[in-house]
Structure 1
Amino acid sequence: ATSVSLSPPSSSLRRAQHVVERWLRQGQRGGWRRSPPFWASPPSCTSPPPCTQRTRRWTPTPPSRWTRWTRSSSAAGCVRFRTPTPTLTLTATLPPPQQTNTKRLDSPAVRKHLNTFSLRELWPVIHMWTMVSQRWVQFVWDAVETVNKEGIEGDIVEAGVWKGGCTMAMVLSNMRHNTHRNFWLFDTFDGLPPPSKEDDEKAKVSYDLIQKGLDKTREANRLVENGKWNYGPLPVVMNAMAFTNYPRDKFHFIKGKVEDTLPVTKLPDKIAILRLDTDWYLSTKAELEYMYERLQPGGLLFVDDFCSWGGSRKAVAEFFEAKGMDAVRASSRRPPKPKKRMSQHP
């Protein structure tokens, strides 16, 4: 049931409201090129610069009780024009929740519907659960597209998931093609453990500052919860995966330090995408030793912290150096545009 009661405004207020609404419509069409009405002219301003020009374009800002007009060129002055504030009372009874659609996710109709979505449209939901930029999440999204189009078999493994945003992107990208891949998520789900002696000094100093509460940067305030760095509890990650509506039996959550859980976990025989984001030396080294050989030909390996932390970079360099291979660093900077050649006049 819904009931609405409004106090009727007086005739003068209705007339003034009509003028303001007409003025707003003109502004939405790019109007206000003439001076505002006399009753909306700004008062004499005491703060510099003096408010002498009344033919400037004005922009509205929408407070709740007052309609305020401020000049776009400077904050020299403003005028307040009172609008009617009717009394509004709403009472509603929500309907019971509907039953979840049980249509199979691997049906052609569902895949055709998912193909209409892009990462840009899904980013407002994904970005809350990841610290990776949209550009690099798009890179991982495209990687899942690549392994599906090229028919590379295997599961998708991510070590270091935080709150599951990057995994959500990979799941939603994979749903555009199939739902038979398994997703393996390795994390402590209790924050980032302390670095070891093999990690660089930057990691040790950063960890100590955060543990002592001395890091007051915006990034630290965002990533520290309950005194723990990069704290992403398991229920939060599971809820993020449930949002994708991917089959729940395809998710495998392995809790604990990866260097402790990998030796006792029955890993998949084939891996199509292996994404490592555990920051430190010992964890990165264990992940490469246990899972790199399971990566299929044509599969993709991502080491997110290769450019950020010295311990992760050291583990990757040692691992591939022992195999006679070189690790390639993917820079986040775009290549410079080629310079235009100047025509030489005789």
Structure 2
Amino acid sequence: MSVATEIIKCLGHIPMPKKPYKRPFHDKTWLHHLLYFKEVYDLIRDKDGEIVECGVGHGHSLYKLCMLSTYEGKGRKITAFDSFEGFPEPAAEDQCAKTAKKGQWKVATSVTIRQLILEEGKLDAAEVDSLVTFVPGFFENTMPLVKERPVAFLHLDVDLYESYKTTLTTFWPMIVKGGVVLFDEYNQFMDKWPGAVKAIDEVLGERAKDIQYNKAANRHFIVK
């Protein structure tokens, strides 16, 4: 079975965006990532709790989460955290051959991402605004304001040591039993994002040994 056929079989009526990347939407990497989200999302269908994403970037992962939540039909809400100003100042733990710099990854705004979801997801404005809450600001400022709530699906794509440490420390206690946390950067990117690995291991402690690897998507996740 081809990747495209498998995606269509698994996702059915979820609309494929016309141009999620500069490359075509049928690009295998994009499709593998979509299938990965679907497979992990299936683990929480019988769990209560919302979806949280920290690190929105261009909005491609958020688009997928919006589609999965919409067609699940349970009204599962999504909260999306991002500075929308690029990286904060990297820590010493983030130093590597390709050193991150403050302000990198200032690539989109909540307005442009909302528009992406509207246009490609075939949702109206009221649906999107009811489904997604954007929380702009650096994590050091927004995480202390987060109210306790059950979280079933947490997607972290925050790259840097302090960002991972702050977000995972905040949300790990809120993850429901059987809930999932997806890490966009872990061992597969050790040379590029060493601070991410260090922060995840520090916060999870002994539980870090339970992190699972999805080979097709080249991503890691953990079930609490």
For the aligned pair, the TM-score class normalised by the smaller chain equals: 0.7 to 0.9
After superposition, the C-alpha distances for 1:102-138 in whole angstroms (9 at most, x for unaligned) are xxxxxxxxxxxxx7425xx6153434599x7331232
> Residue 124 of structure 1: SS of its match in structure 2?
coil
Q: In structure 2, how many angstroms separate the alpha carbons of the residues matched to 1:142 and 1:234? A: 27
Aligned equivalent of 2:31, options 119, 129, 134: 134
- Unpaired stretches in structure 1, ≥5 consecutive residues: 1-114, 212-226, 335-346
Instruction: Evaluate the alpha carbon distance shift between residue 266 and residue 196 of structure 1 in structure 2; reply closer, same or farther with a 3 A threshold.
Output: same
Aligned equivalent of 2:61, options 157, 166, 169: 166
After superposition, the C-alpha distances for 1:271-328 in whole angstroms (9 at most, x for unaligned) are 110010000000101111110111111111111111321100000111122x555252
Match for 2:109: what amino acid?
P
State whether structure 2 residue 117 is matched by structure 1 residue 117: no
| Contact 1:274 1:300 survives alignment (8 Å) | yes
| Contact 2:69 2:75 survives alignment (8 Å) | no
Partner of 2:110: 234
Aligned equivalent of 2:165, options 276, 285, 288: 285
> Residue 122 of structure 1: SS of its match in structure 2?
coil
After superposition, the C-alpha distances for 1:14-40 in whole angstroms (9 at most, x for unaligned) are xxxxxxxxxxxxxxxxxxxxxxxxxxx
| Contact 1:281 1:315 survives alignment (8 Å) | yes
- Cα RMSD of the aligned pairs, angstroms, is 2.7
State whether structure 2 residue 209 is matched by structure 1 residue 326: yes
> Residue 171 of structure 2: SS of its match in structure 1?
helix
Q: In structure 2, how many angstroms separate the alpha carbons of the residues matched to 1:188 and 1:240? A: 18
- 1:228, CA displacement in angstroms? 4.2
Q: In structure 2, how many angstroms separate the alpha carbons of the residues matched to 1:331 and 1:262? A: 28
State whether structure 2 residue 169 is matched by structure 1 residue 273: no
State whether structure 2 residue 136 is matched by structure 1 residue 255: yes
Q: In structure 2, how many angstroms separate the alpha carbons of the residues matched to 1:157 and 1:229? A: 20
Partner of 2:7: none
| TM-score, normalised via structure 2 length | 0.75
Partner of 1:299: 179
Match for 1:170: what amino acid?
L
Where does structure 1 differ by over 3 angstroms across 4 or more consecutive aligned residues? 123-130, 331-334
Q: Report the count of equivalent residues.
A: 194
Partner of 2:220: none
> Residue 170 of structure 1: SS of its match in structure 2?
helix
Instruction: Evaluate the alpha carbon distance shift between residue 324 and residue 172 of structure 1 in structure 2; reply closer, same or farther with a 3 A threshold.
Output: closer
Match for 1:193: what amino acid?
P
Q: In structure 2, how many angstroms separate the alpha carbons of the residues matched to 1:315 and 1:141? A: 26
| Contact 1:187 1:254 survives alignment (8 Å) | yes
State whether structure 2 residue 54 is matched by structure 1 residue 178: no
| Contact 1:192 1:228 survives alignment (8 Å) | yes
State whether structure 2 residue 42 is matched by structure 1 residue 145: yes
Instruction: Evaluate the alpha carbon distance shift between residue 124 and residue 146 of structure 1 in structure 2; reply closer, same or farther with a 3 A threshold.
Output: farther
Q: In structure 1, how many angstroms separate the alpha carbons of the residues matched to 2:112 and 2:84? A: 9
Instruction: Evaluate the alpha carbon distance shift between residue 122 and residue 144 of structure 1 in structure 2; reply closer, same or farther with a 3 A threshold.
Output: same
Q: Aligned residues: percent identity?
A: 21
| Contact 2:20 2:60 survives alignment (8 Å) | yes
- 1:331, CA displacement in angstroms? 5.7
Match for 1:266: what amino acid?
K
Partner of 1:310: 194
Match for 1:194: what amino acid?
E
- Unpaired stretches in structure 2, ≥5 consecutive residues: 1-10, 218-224
Instruction: Evaluate the alpha carbon distance shift between residue 303 and residue 126 of structure 1 in structure 2; reply closer, same or farther with a 3 A threshold.
Output: same
Which structure carries more helix by proportion? 2
Instruction: Evaluate the alpha carbon distance shift between residue 332 and residue 193 of structure 1 in structure 2; reply closer, same or farther with a 3 A threshold.
Output: farther
- 1:179, CA displacement in angstroms? 4.8
- 1:264, CA displacement in angstroms? 1.6
Match for 1:160: what amino acid?
G
Aligned equivalent of 2:99, options 187, 203, 206: 206
| TM-score, normalised via structure 1 length | 0.50
Instruction: Evaluate the alpha carbon distance shift between residue 116 and residue 138 of structure 1 in structure 2; reply closer, same or farther with a 3 A threshold.
Output: closer
> Residue 159 of structure 2: SS of its match in structure 1?
coil
Q: In structure 2, how many angstroms separate the alpha carbons of the residues matched to 1:333 and 1:181? A: 27
